[in-house]
Amino acid sequence: MSSVFMQEISWQEFKAKKEDAVIILPVGSTEQHGPMLPLSVDAIISTGLAKMIAEEIGGLVAPTVCYGYKSAPLSGGGPLFPGTLDLNGATLTALVSDILEELIRDGVKKIFVMNGHFENEAFILEAIDLLSRKYEDVTFIESSWWDQISDEVMDKVFDEVPFPGWALEHAAIAETSMTMYFRPDLVHMERFIEDGVDEELGYSIYPASKCKVPETGLLATARTSSKEKGKLLAEDITAHYAAILKDRM
């Protein structure tokens, strides 16, 4: 069986599948994820999940958007950490829009955008909304992976440590576990340091330097992360999206 990744197949292989298949576009970021995780965690997870979902439903995965919208201090550490490379909102919207429009011009009718970076969502939806007015016969679904986890799985993942809320779950147990599952070679738990934020502010403040973020860039603990938890999460999320895509497209 040929690869589900568009970048690994020829145009003829793509052509053979494009009419009926769901095309999945993973969108990640290049963003600090603490001392023990690589800058591409959001791309790794969204790509890994997209591959599993594509294999499940007979879809294809377009090349991952590996730069995302601006990291906010209290959901990603923010722009003050070197290595975080953020796009402006208009750029991300244009990029996603161009990619999806090209797919549509190729005859694709079913598009799923798999988001892996919290701050991306509004700018991805803007692209989809504007395209949707123009291409009324195309179905678009967009979702962030943390919106499709079973309560039972959540309980197992947060078995020892309480769930801090998704805004603070940055480089924490869920992301670390899934990175361990998808790219174990890139996780260095020996560099992990306990760190975190006490509570969300409930407002945004600029300049960013006025917002106290832990020095490590960790907003909540990653202790108790494991490859097994990563597998549990990935399989649960995959099952949910496979069901949604089969049902709605």
Residues belonging to the active site: 31, 33, 42, 117, 119, 170, 175
Residue closer to its own copies by CB (options 147, 194) is: 147
Under the criterion CB under 8 A, does residue 15 sit at the interface with its own copies?
yes
DSSP annotation of 221 reads -
Restricting to residues 42-81, which ones interact with its own copies according to CB under 8 A? Answer: 43, 62-64, 66-67, 69-70, 72, 79, 81
Continuous segment of H or E residues that includes residue 101 = helix 89-105
Query: Which residues, numbered 77-106, are part of the site for its own copies (CB under 8 A)?
Result: 79, 81-91, 93-95, 97-99, 102-103, 105-106
Is residue 178 within the footprint of its own copies (CB under 8 A)?
no
CB of 55 to its own copies, least distance (A): 18
User: Which residue number, 160 or 206, has a Cβ lying nearer to its own copies?
Assistant: 206
Minimum distance between the CB of residue 60 and its own copies, rounded to whole angstroms? 10
238/53 Cα distance (integer angstroms) = 5
**Ramachandran quadrant class, 170 (left: phi over 0; alpha: psi -120 to 50; beta: rest):** beta
> Which lies closer to its own copies via its Cβ, residue 49 or residue 62?
62
Long-range pairs, 153-157, Cβ under 8 A, ≥24: 153/232, 153/233, 153/236, 156/229, 156/232, 157/229, 157/232, 157/233
Q: Report the C-alpha gap between 124 and 104 in whole angstroms.
A: 16
Q: Does 159 bind its own copies (CB under 8 A)?
A: no
